[in-house]
Structure 1
Amino acid sequence: MITYPVFTNDSTIGVTAPSSGVGEDLHNILNQAIKRMQTKGFNVVSGDTAWTQIKAKSASAIQRAKEFNSMIQSDEIEVIIPPWGGELLIEILEYVEFDKVQNKWILGYSDLSVLLLAITLTKGLATAHGTNLVDLRGEYSDETTAMWEPVLATNRDETIVQKSSQLYQKEWSHNSPSPCVFNLTEKTYWKTIDNEPFHIEGRLLGGCIDVIRHLIGTPFGDVRTFRDKYITNEPVVWYLENCELNTTDLRRSLVQMKLAGWFEGCSGILFGRSDANVPVSGYTIEDVYADIARELQIPIAYDIDCGHVPPQITFINGAYAELRVEDGEGTVKQTFKP
């Protein structure tokens, strides 16, 4: 049975950096994000790690884990939203007190998806893959990003529907953000293999494939036990986004997931938009998708609103989802089924 945290519009947000923190030269954007949350009526408690960054991490693994443990166990904090992702979150897993994790939302993406997926797989606690804190600093959020609030506010047994975006951002322009932070200029078009309509259902699991693949073979990546213990072997829908992998590295990662049993009971896979899908010797990203679809005999949708090419839909690890893609448009219906 999946447990879903509770979220309200006056919740207290804890800001900690289990991966990368924000260096002094960018403290202004973190301050803006915190003030924006306060203006919206949230209380904000900020940890020390959010404000530091050295050698590819906010602090030592023990210090990062200690601060996260404190916030996830605090009766004062209802939701944790790190500033952003990073590179080395996996270092803290052995120090996280999983047996003391309380039922509260954690929202983020990129390297944070290592922690999100590990908590859902080991605890049966729903976690939220979506926007990070610094991208909420704008005067307003685009319609897709703004859905993080109503999604997290969904109650057990309730359903929330999200639609594909109208436009996405092709390139980051940190020095000239729009009023909603992102510069949304390109027409969104969700795709499927052979352009066939796509309709699947199942429990959502996923994240940034660059980093969640490293959970394979660890105590934090036991998908078989999760399926048996928490979702009674219901089908799984994987959503995956690629930050930096070329096509052959992505292919190796997908094969590794398959060999590890992560795709057992999989009803379909969603792949996020990515600017990292560089072909190798003529092997294109479309070839990768076609190969895994053929091997697993499942439908594939790609270029969806997920990951490092924003905006992105808020996907809830553990939720029961019905997903449709047709004529370039997508619908994600999530039910907070125990």
Structure 2
Amino acid sequence: MIKPKQLKPGDNIAVLSPSTGLPSVFPQVYHQGLSNLKALGFNVVEYPTATMDIDEVFNSPQARARDLNNAFGDDNIDGIISTIGGSDSARILKYLDAEIIKANPKFIMGFSDFTAVSAFIHQLGIVTFNGPSVMAGFAQIHNMSDEYQTYVRSFIYGEHNESEFPVFTHFSDGYPDWSEPSAAGQLKPQQINTGPRFYQGDSAKKYKASGPLFGGCIEVLEMLKGTQYWPRQDFWRGKVLFLETSQEKPAIDYVRYWLRNYGVMGVFEQLSGLVFGRARDYSDDEKQLLDEVILSVVKEEFGCDKLPIVTNLDFGHTDPQMILPLGISIEIDVQKQKIKALESPFKL
């Protein structure tokens, strides 16, 4: 895998909208995110789609792709961060210039609908990052714990190399109504984090497994299945697949059907591990049922009873969210109930 260069204070970060134009609808949230990025030490470079009208963004997947192509092609840009997710970034993939992107690998991060873009670029052989966006994550970071702020700073500046995945003490299910000006940068009430849940494993391997990360928002990955953008069959061998549900809170039966499809495709039998982010807006009982469904599909339906599974991790549509680098190897230790990165995501 090609790793991007390590970021540093003073670097130029391109901000753009590959998914939706929500900055034009909630500018106060967007500007709070920019302010917090600048406080982290970055110079922010706004590309046209960052503040483009929401309808114009939707109607022009070409403009969204053009911003991405231009950001990769600009030697003055050190990294790229998405403004926010959406629902149709898959529409821009055919307009992305693979040659420009491969020739100019750099840090690029987002989550949710950004999964489609991240998966596309990752399959070019480049490490990409599933993590906070400008409006969902960075806009609220000043109201998160000092521990999380330190984590983000150390990660993006390359100090977070071989290290254990963090488990934060509290989490929030989203944000107050953004139509209220006072909601900019705010979080919903914090809840106690009960921590990740570890299941299964292979005793012959001392309940340890390792492999490179791949994944994202489960609903968005569904849009890529059956297309030229879906990974080849041999791509999955040895991978640790990470999945998370969106703020739409899909019915648990739908998650069952989507997972069953992975099983039918022969994905589970090739994986080294399977991890899930915390499900946003699900009750504790629903989260437990979701775990039961995951185990039922993987273990009972497809016989993968030694595949390590971890749920309720700090990534996805709840805050705070850890940053997951696609293509970087991690190790799952089911007995110790720990996950750690085995390498730096940056070119050293």
TM-score band by shorter chain is 0.7 to 0.9
Matched, 1:147 2:148: no
Q: Deviations over 1:123-159 (max 9, x none)?
A: 1100011111122134364334653343333389x52
Offset, 1:38? 2.1
The separation in 2 between residues aligned to 1:35 and 1:248, in whole angstroms, is: 41
Which residue in the other structure is 1:205 paired with?
214
Which residue in the other structure is 2:295 paired with?
290
Q: Deviations over 1:103-125 (max 9, x none)?
A: 1011111000111112112x110
Matched residue count: 325
Q: Is the 8 A contact 1:247 1:277 kept in 2?
A: no
Q: Is the 8 A contact 1:79 1:106 kept in 2?
A: yes
Question: TM-score scaled by structure 2?
Answer: 0.82
Answer with 286-295 or 8-17: which moved more. 286-295
The separation in 1 between residues aligned to 2:134 and 2:150, in whole angstroms, is: 12
Q: Is the 8 A contact 1:192 1:198 kept in 2?
A: no
Matched, 1:110 2:112: yes
Offset, 1:265? 2.2
Q: Return 5+ residue gaps in structure 2 as ranges.
A: none
What amino acid does structure 2 have at the position aligned with 1:321?
Answer: I
Identity, in percent, stands at 23
The separation in 1 between residues aligned to 2:250 and 2:120, in whole angstroms, is: 21
Q: Cα RMSD over matched residues? A: 3.2
What amino acid does structure 2 have at the position aligned with 1:14?
Answer: A
SS at match of 1:256: helix
Q: How does 1:75-86 map to 2 (within 5 A)?
A: 75-86=75-86
Q: Return 5+ residue gaps in structure 1 as ranges.
A: 228-232
Q: Is the 8 A contact 2:171 2:191 kept in 1?
A: yes
Q: 2:166 aligns with which of 141, 153, 163?
A: 163
Answer with 164-173 or 305-314: which moved more. 164-173
Answer with 168-177 or 285-294: which moved more. 168-177
What amino acid does structure 1 have at the position aligned with 2:76?
Answer: E
Offset, 1:213? 2.3
SS at match of 1:161: coil
Distance change in 2, residues 1:51/1:179 (3 Å) = closer
Which residue in the other structure is 1:126 paired with?
127
What amino acid does structure 2 have at the position aligned with 1:336?
Answer: S
Which residue in the other structure is 1:333 paired with?
341
Distance change in 2, residues 1:264/1:96 (3 Å) = farther
Offset, 1:60? 1.1
SS at match of 1:240: strand
The separation in 1 between residues aligned to 2:99 and 2:143, in whole angstroms, is: 37
Offset, 1:251? 1.4
The separation in 1 between residues aligned to 2:250 and 2:148, in whole angstroms, is: 25
Offset, 1:211? 0.5
The separation in 1 between residues aligned to 2:51 and 2:131, in whole angstroms, is: 21
Distance change in 2, residues 1:179/1:45 (3 Å) = closer
Offset, 1:161? 3.1
The separation in 2 between residues aligned to 1:277 and 1:198, in whole angstroms, is: 29
SS at match of 1:81: strand
